[in-house]
Chain A
Amino acid sequence: DVKVTQSSRYLVKRTGEKVFLECVQDMDHENMFWYRQDPGLGLRLIYFSYDVKMKEKGDIPEGYSVSREKKERFSLILESASTNQTSMYLCASSPPRRQTLGQYFGPGTRLTVT
């Protein structure tokens, strides 16, 4: 089974803090994704990566950055947390397209910025 883990289930940070969210997958997947999920807005893609050191902006990259130094690990960074970044953050991974499989999600991190 694919296993995607995230460093924290719940996180409380103060406005202006730098926040690191870590995601690790154990299935040697090339592709990794960061989403945020908010009521009524659904899942929105922040960034994704299709290879080590490669990244592409998703639909809402402002205020976020990412790092992928190793294939299994994809980090989301909030450079200066703000209250409007309070949300559920979900990491996902997927194999290459040739395997035509969907994305597999981690358990999520519920981040509260006060």
Chain B
Amino acid sequence: QKEVEQNSGPLSVPEGAIASLNCTYSDRGSQSFFWYRQYSGKSPELIMSIYSNGDKEDGRFTAQLNKASQYVSLLIRDSQPSDSATYLCAVRSNFGNEKLTFGTGTRLTIIP
């Protein structure tokens, strides 16, 4: 079982709709969770972080965390063509060092 799993997609969403990206993780000791956006040919860009159960909103982005079920999700409201990218979920354990474990990413395409 992979430590951090994401549906690879591609996920196609009409412009203006809500895009929902999901991520599950296996380490129950994980405490910090991050979402990165990566455009083709570019490096990952940190867009959201979440540490507590519940929702965290930042503009059109909402991160949701459920530690009991070991999943974290990212919602993108009013999707724009510029949101088309690969989204990486990353998890950091509470123990040990500063390492992040990344999922392989979900490719999102926003259809105009």
Interface residues, chain A, with chain B CB atoms under 8 Å away: 31, 33, 40-43, 45, 48, 50, 56, 58, 90, 94, 96-97, 100-108
Q: Are B98 and A97 in contact (CB under 8 A)?
A: yes
Q: Which residues of B contact A (CB under 8 A)?
A: 32, 34, 36, 42-46, 49, 51, 88, 90, 97-100, 102-105
Report A-chain residues with C-beta under 8 Å of the C-beta of B44: 43, 90, 105
Question: How many contacting A-B pairs (Cβ < 8 A)?
Answer: 50
Complex CA gap A101/B100 in Å reads 11
Which residues does chain B contribute within 8 Å of A104, judged by CB atoms? 46
CA distance A97 to B32 in the complex (A): 10
Q: Are B103 and A106 touching (Cβ within 8 A)? A: no
Contact B97 A48 (CB under 8 A): yes
Whether A42 contacts B90 by the Cβ 8 Å rule is no
Task: State in angstroms the CA–CA spacing of A103 and B102 once bound together.
Answer: 11
**Are B43 and A106 touching (Cβ within 8 A)?**
yes
- With A42-B102, A56-B97, A107-B43: A100-B51 Cβ-Cβ less than 8 Å: yes
Q: How far is the CA of A49 from the CA of B44 in the complex (A)?
A: 20
Assess whether B102 is in contact with A43, with CB atoms less than 8 Å apart: yes
Q: How far apart are B77's CB and chain A's nearest CB, in angstroms? A: 22
Q: Looking across the interface, which residue of chain B has its beta carbon closest to that of A35?
A: B102
Contact A42:B100 (CB < 8 A) given known A90-B44, A102-B46:
no
In the assembled complex, the Cα of A108 lies from the Cα of B42 at a distance in Å of 7
Instruction: State the CA gap A8–B24 with chains docked (Å).
Output: 35
Q: Which residues of A have CB within 8 Å of B43?
A: 90, 105-108
Report the separation of the CA atoms of residues A16 and B23 in the bound assembly, to the nearest whole angstrom.
Answer: 40
